[in-house]
Amino acid sequence: MKKLYRYTLAFLLAGVSLGLQSCEDYFDLHDNPNLVSSPPLNAMLSTATHKTGLNSQRVAATTSFYVQYLASPVAGNATDTYQVVDLTGSWDAIYLAMADIYDMKQRGVEEGASDYVGVANILMAYHLNLVIDHWGDGPYSEAFNNSTLTPRFDSSQDLYAEALQLLDEGIAELNKTDSRVTLSKADDLIHGGDKTKWIRTANAFKARLLNKVSKLPSYNPAAVLSAVENSYQSNADDAQMAVFVDINPWAAVARSNTSLVLGGWLSEQLVNHLNGSTYGVVDPRLTRITDPTVAGTFVGTPNGVGNVGPANNTIRDEVYISRNSPLTGDLAPITIASYAEMKFVEAEAAFRAGNRQRAYDAYIAGITAHMNKVGVPAGERDAYLSNPAVGVGAANLTLDLIFKEKYVVTYLNAEAWTDARRYDYQYASFELPANADLSTFIRRIAYPQGETSKNPNTPDSPVLSERLWWDQ
């Protein structure tokens, strides 16, 4: 019994003293064990580059319906028919990526890591470009910096100017040679730590931005050409990202489709573009993009109509995104911007500047580069190039031809929709989807519910056929 007393007393004292004695440290539990306060720059770079790659695909997963690369197997699908769809997921991914990029830049500035500051600027400019292209105005000057919980929306024009400036500053930072921390090869998931390639990417983004305003009086083809010259020199320079938890997200769509979780059906517009129906010439890239149907043919699906069969959706009598394609295979990188695309930017700018020969050379170089990228053998490639519908000669080059060929190069890239709008969807036989919700082509995306509901500064989204600032 004595023992019990003693134990009791011990318990009692333990309890009381535990609380009273060392309150100071005992209640000091502010370091969240789930977080770190200052991760190294390379661990921020891996996140920033990975998110950028994924975001370029994420946005394209919607806009590829608008440019009719893809069509829904289901009739009247909301995205396919221009209904308002809530893209909170994409918007959030873009803004949360920008926050990470912002943090990387801050840390880079603190540590005198100019390489990281430069890359952060370029990635930030890329994301601003996505906002400008899809929604128009967007938060930036008050965003991600803890100054307010309801950031104001900066005008599209301001974002545009900011993006250009960020690119110029980024190039300047990367040209410095005294970065206190050098770019991590292993954690730079886009260029493997190659500063030269980053500078070229900065110029490629700059070329895109400058070319975007082709409808506006401020359009300056000479500036576009200058940026293009400083951008990619070959396919090896392309900005792409190939690190996936599982497989390339397009390949994942294709894999699900094989399991009859339907998706990734190629649009009739794209397939006819390539299979000779529209232009009378079969593009050899067709078989590098997709696989033939069970009948050995290439059949697309009309937008808004859904599966047209003739068989039901379990029979592969139309074509889809393919895991066999070098663009959408399991291990295929996501292309963010490419040498081939730059050649078409050059072709367009040169054409608009009146330099037909340069335009034509770039046009041919662009097709050639893309054929090489997707692995078209030289013979097939040259046959295509020499086809009178393609190799028209400098004198016969038209903007239509440039846009027609660029349409293939930007397959499943978000930039395609920007081109389509600049070109006013003038592609041959491009039509409104069946049962479209709008009477004209779609021109913008509605602000997402996620931002609208939490940020009262979000502007009202006008009808989706209303053009954005640079598209007027």
Footprint of other proteins on 313-352 (CB under 8 A): 313-314
**What is the distance between the alpha carbons of residues 45 and 51, in angstroms, rounded to a whole number?**
10
- Biggest alpha carbon distance in the chain? 110
Q: Which of residues 191-230 bind other proteins (CB under 8 A)?
A: none
Radius of gyration of the chain, Cα coordinates, nearest whole angstrom = 26
Stretch near other proteins under the rule CB under 8 A, chosen from 100-108, 200-208, 319-327, 425-433: 100-108
Least distance between other proteins and beta carbon 120 (Å): 13
Q: Which is nearer to other proteins, 45 or 266 (CB)?
A: 45
Q: Does 19 bind other proteins (CB under 8 A)?
A: yes
Binds other proteins (CB under 8 A): choice among 6, 18, 216, 400: 18
Q: Does 27 bind other proteins (CB under 8 A)?
A: yes
Contact 101, 136 (CB under 8 A): no
Q: Does 35 bind other proteins (CB under 8 A)?
A: yes
Site string for other proteins, 278-317 (x = CB under 8 A): ----------------------------x-----xxx---
Q: Which of residues 424-453 bind other proteins (CB under 8 A)?
A: 435, 449-453
Q: Which is nearer to other proteins, 189 or 271 (CB)?
A: 189
Q: Which of residues 166-185 bind other proteins (CB under 8 A)?
A: none
Q: Does 141 bind other proteins (CB under 8 A)?
A: no
Q: Which of residues 234-263 bind other proteins (CB under 8 A)?
A: 243-246, 255-256, 259-261
**What is the distance between the alpha carbons of residues 40 and 143, in angstroms, rounded to a whole number?**
23
Binds other proteins (CB under 8 A): choice among 15, 192, 375, 393: 15
Tokens of 269: 């517009």
Contact 119, 100 (CB under 8 A): no
Contact 341, 363 (CB under 8 A): no
β-pairing, 153-154 vs 138-139, is: antiparallel
Residues in the chain: 472
CA–CA distances in Å: residue 199 to residues 45, 164, 167, 231, 347:
16, 13, 9, 7, 21
Contact 402, 363 (CB under 8 A): yes
CA–CA distances in Å: residue 88 to residues 58, 93, 133, 442, 459:
12, 8, 16, 19, 15
Q: Does 274 bind other proteins (CB under 8 A)?
A: no
Q: Does 5 bind other proteins (CB under 8 A)?
A: yes
Q: Which is nearer to other proteins, 96 or 222 (CB)?
A: 96
Q: Which is nearer to other proteins, 115 or 137 (CB)?
A: 137
Tokens of 146: 């803890």
**What is the distance between the alpha carbons of residues 454 and 358, in angstroms, rounded to a whole number?**
50
Q: Which is nearer to other proteins, 168 or 317 (CB)?
A: 317
Q: Does 102 bind other proteins (CB under 8 A)?
A: yes
Q: Does 44 bind other proteins (CB under 8 A)?
A: yes
**What is the distance between the alpha carbons of residues 333 and 327, in angstroms, rounded to a whole number?**
7
Least distance between other proteins and beta carbon 296 (Å): 19
> What kind and span of H or E run contains 224?
helix 221-229
Total residues at the site for other proteins (CB under 8 A)?
89
CA–CA distances in Å: residue 425 to residues 378, 403, 420:
31, 10, 5
Stretch near other proteins under the rule CB under 8 A, chosen from 69-77, 165-173, 355-363, 407-415: 69-77
**3-state SS assignment for residue 107:** helix
Stretch near other proteins under the rule CB under 8 A, chosen from 47-55, 270-278, 288-296, 385-393: 47-55
Least distance between other proteins and beta carbon 227 (Å): 28
Least distance between other proteins and beta carbon 378 (Å): 36
Q: Does 150 bind other proteins (CB under 8 A)?
A: yes
How many degrees, rounded to 5, is the angle at CA 197 between CA 421 and CA 288? 55
Stretch near other proteins under the rule CB under 8 A, chosen from 138-146, 206-214, 364-372, 422-430: 138-146
User: 241: which strand partners?
Assistant: 334
Binds other proteins (CB under 8 A): choice among 108, 118, 136, 138: 138
**What is the distance between the alpha carbons of residues 440 and 443, in angstroms, rounded to a whole number?**
9
Amino acid in the structure at residue 84: V
Least distance between other proteins and beta carbon 67 (Å): 22
Q: Does 10 bind other proteins (CB under 8 A)?
A: no
Q: Which of residues 449-468 bind other proteins (CB under 8 A)?
A: 449-456, 458, 460-461
| Alpha carbon 91 to its chain's center | 12
Which residues neighbour 173 within 8 Å (Cβ) at sequence distance 6 or greater? 114, 115, 117, 118, 121
Q: Which of residues 385-404 bind other proteins (CB under 8 A)?
A: none
Q: Which is nearer to other proteins, 159 or 228 (CB)?
A: 159
Angle between helices 195-212 and 114-134 (to 10 degrees): 30
Least distance between other proteins and beta carbon 304 (Å): 10
Measured from the Cβ of residue 397, the count of other Cβ atoms closer than 10 Å reads 21
Q: Does 92 bind other proteins (CB under 8 A)?
A: yes
Contact 40, 104 (CB under 8 A): no
Q: Which is nearer to other proteins, 146 or 386 (CB)?
A: 146
Binds other proteins (CB under 8 A): choice among 22, 148, 196, 426: 148
